């Protein structure tokens, strides 16, 4: 068995994050795998240092639309394969998906859509959710280990946001969005953070304009999910709320596999 530390972080712009110490964060934390969401940049727009941090293989999936969406993965061990989408253009062209195959598991790094802008975007989000569920269920049926991480853009339960009542009709906490997380868990997956922490008050996103982070008025919308068979491998799961540089903070799992 080998110990691995995996971190997921919506950096709200990888170039801005680089200016705020992203490379120092990588050097200090030394994750075996770092999954990043919302890069807002094409690979050709990044410095060599950000494209290739020392000691890491790096992979990027960028949106066709400039300055929008995008995901990246830095990994110390080279994956067996890398896939930049679900194989469906309407989802893949937004640069939201990286699927890496390692000897012991498949890793899905996903920046799930936000449904707040319009009914059309909420519909798109729900279709994206369903395709993601279809893909991981298929792999699970094949007895594969699966890690899903990223900005899911939905808080699951009342304890996962500071003001559930006020946000009950807001995208990110709608019944159909929460139901998708229920469906994922019912399909044989676990929310790793809730294996270790049952209490409320732990969040991963705060509204910057209202200075909500200072008051810890937040949402827990960044996750690591694993298939139930991997529960024995999960050593710890935590939210790195002391790390600044984005409106999100990083989330982490530590595994032995």
CB 130 within 8 A of CB 92: no
Report how far apart, in Å, the C-alpha atoms of 44 and of each of 50, 81, 187 are: 11, 22, 39
Catalytic residue chosen out of the listed positions 32, 104, 151, 222:
151
Is 207 designated active site? no
In angstroms, the CA 185 to CA 228 distance is 9
Length of the chain: 257
Long-range contacts made by residues 228-233, C-beta under 8 angstroms, separation at least 24? 228/188, 228/189, 228/190, 229/145, 229/188, 230/105, 230/145, 230/146, 230/147, 230/190, 230/255, 230/257, 231/190, 231/195, 233/257
Report how far apart, in Å, the C-alpha atoms of 20 and of each of 15, 16, 24, 210 are: 9, 6, 9, 21
Consecutive H or E run containing 150: strand 146-151
Residues noted as catalytic: 151
């Amino acid at each position: 068995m080998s110990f691995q530390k995996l971190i997921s972080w919506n950096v709200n712009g990888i170039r801005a994050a680089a200016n705020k110490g992203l490379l120092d964060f990588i050097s200090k934390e030394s994750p075996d795998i770092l999954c990043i969401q919302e890069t807002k940049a094409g690979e050709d727009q990044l410095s060599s240092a950000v494209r290739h941090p020392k000691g890491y293989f790096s992979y990027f999936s960028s949106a066709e639309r400039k300055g929008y969406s995008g995901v990246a993965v830095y990994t110390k061990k080279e994956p067996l394969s890398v896939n930049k989408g679900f194989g469906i253009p309407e989802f893949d062209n937004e640069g939201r998906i990286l699927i890496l195959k390692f000897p012991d598991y498949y890793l899905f790094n996903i920046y799930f859509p936000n449904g707040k802008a319009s009914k059309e975007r909420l519909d798109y989000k729900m279709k994206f959710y369903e395709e993601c569920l279809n893909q991981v269920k298929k792999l699970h049926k094949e007895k594969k280990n699966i890690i899903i991480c990223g900005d899911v853009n939905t808080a699951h339960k009342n304890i996962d946001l500071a003001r559930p009542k006020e946000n009950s009709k807001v995208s990110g906490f709608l019944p159909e969005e929460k139901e998708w997380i229920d469906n994922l868990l019912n399909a044989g997956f676990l929310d790793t953070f809730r294996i270790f922490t049952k209490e409320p008050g732990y969040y991963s996103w705060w509204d910057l304009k209202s200075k909500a982070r200072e008051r810890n008025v937040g949402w827990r919308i960044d996750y690591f999910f694993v298939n139930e068979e991997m529960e024995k491998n999960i050593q710890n799961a935590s939210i790195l709320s002391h790390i600044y540089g984005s409106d999100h903070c990083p989330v982490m799992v530590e595994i032995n596999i």
